A = this chain, B = another copy of it.
Amino acid sequence: MNKTANQWFIGVDGGGSKCKAVVYSKQTGIVGEGLAGRANPLYGLEQAFDSINSSIFAAIKQADLSREQTKQAVVGMGLAGVNVPNYYQAISDWKHDFNAFYLTTDLDTACLGAHNGADGAVIISGTGSCGYAKVGEQSLLLGGHGYALGDQGSGAWLGKQGLTQVLLDLDGLGPKTSLTQAVLTELNLADQIAIVELLANAPSSEVAKLSKVVIEQARAGDAVADAIVQQGADYLSNLARKLFELNPSRFSMIGGVSEPITPWLGDDIKKQLQPCLSPPEMGAIFYAQRRAKLC
């Protein structure tokens, strides 16, 4: 590989809702960004490639790279779904005109981003939840079993547990909770039938929006909401302790629920918690630099 004065990198972070690409060099920093739709191959290979290509094209355009610069660029990509070997292979076969292309999971690049290219551990708690650590040649992936069976401590899980308690309360079969009025007000609904019609078969991303209400009511001292948030946080604390068995030098949390749930985490976890240093698309660039030995 021709190590030039200004080696360009393209970092791509693709998941179930969007795909983001950035153009970067050590000398200039980030000079272009592009955004496109979802790029998880689970939802279709063609769509994934479309989103990848669109986001990269937009980023290159903004960066105003020449054709020659583009051809010499090195692409790093972290993608959801490529933990499944078939999808990893399919995306690896991507036809491109860049200098080189390196693919890994979105967890791996999120972790590399959080620790500015160094090893470490991360917990992601957004719509879903999971834990990941990478230390030397060892890596560990835990949780992330989805809305129906797992993802404890995630936004969708908090929302689901909240709704279950609201329905029990409205049926007179569970403890009274301030969640009931708060959820009915938030959704502008009248009763349990309306809740079931709206949310019994809703995607987890819709249910996750209610995590805000659950955490608010827990903060306000409602015992039912507090028990839900505490149970979710206890799971995340246990997840972190399991990741710490690999002795990662840094630990961060990512995703919309990470910050609001922090007060309920174990003190040992809070002590270890450090801020994310860079976003996942920069993690994808760190990954490409590692693989291409172009740090």
Contact = CB atoms under 8 A, between A and B. Distances in A.
A163 B149 CA distance: 7
A38 interface: no
B171 A143 contact: yes
Interface string A182-218: 0000000000100110011100000100000000000
Interface stretch (A91-99, A235-243, A254-262): A235-243
- How many copies the complex holds: the figure is 2
A31 interface: no
A236 to B, nearest CB: 10
- A interface bracket (residues with beta carbon within 8 Å of B): 20 to 34
Interface in A1-60: none
B200 A149 contact: yes
A172 B142 CA distance: 9
A142 B192 CA distance: 10
B239 A146 contact: no
Nearest to A235: B173
A171 to B, nearest CB: 5
A167 B149 contact: yes
A286 to B, nearest CB: 27
Contact of A149 (B196, B238, B239, B242): B196
Interface string A146-174: 11111000000000100110011001110
A238 B196 contact: no
Contact of A143 (B149, B173, B195): B173
Interface of A: 142-143, 145-150, 160, 163-164, 167-168, 171-173, 192, 195-196, 199-201, 207, 235, 238-239, 242
29 contacts: A142-B171, A142-B173, A143-B171, A143-B173, A145-B167, A145-B192, A145-B196, A145-B200, A146-B200, A146-B201, A148-B148, A148-B199, A148-B200, A148-B201, A148-B207, A149-B163, A149-B164, A149-B167, A149-B196, A149-B199, A149-B200, A150-B164, A150-B167, A150-B168, A150-B200, A171-B242, A173-B235, A173-B238, A173-B242
Nearest first, the 6 A-B pairs at minimum CB distance are A146-B200, A145-B167, A145-B196, A142-B171, A149-B163, A173-B238
